[in-house]
Amino acid sequence: MSGLSAILRAASGEFETTRVLGTFGVLLYALGAHGLLLFETIGRGRPFDLATYCTAFPGGLVLLIGTAGGVAALKDRQVARSRAIEKETAR
């Protein structure tokens, strides 16, 4: 496994829902933000404000990536913890 496939798969090798949805959300955010930017500048004729764009877009992107990564890490930790408890009780 390499590249995007490795990012989207859990330790078991199966696709993980939180990682797939997080990646899909980031892609939609990037496409949607740029689509709305084009609509505002070309469709409505408003000027492009680079300062606002450089402040707002990366912040939202970091928030989405951080949230998706944090949720996946929390889930992985909880699964590892439950497996350790299961091994202890099986003894």
**Which of these, 61, 72, 73, lies nearest to 27 by C-alpha position?**
61
pLDDT at 24 (0 to 100): 92
Tell if the pTM clears 0.85, that is, is over it: no
Q: Which pair of structure tokens corresponds to residue 38?
A: 């084009």
pLDDT at 67 (0 to 100): 92
pLDDT at 13 (0 to 100): 83
75: burial class by Cβ within 10 Å (0-12, 13-18, 19+)? middle
Low-confidence ranges of the chain (pLDDT < 70): 1
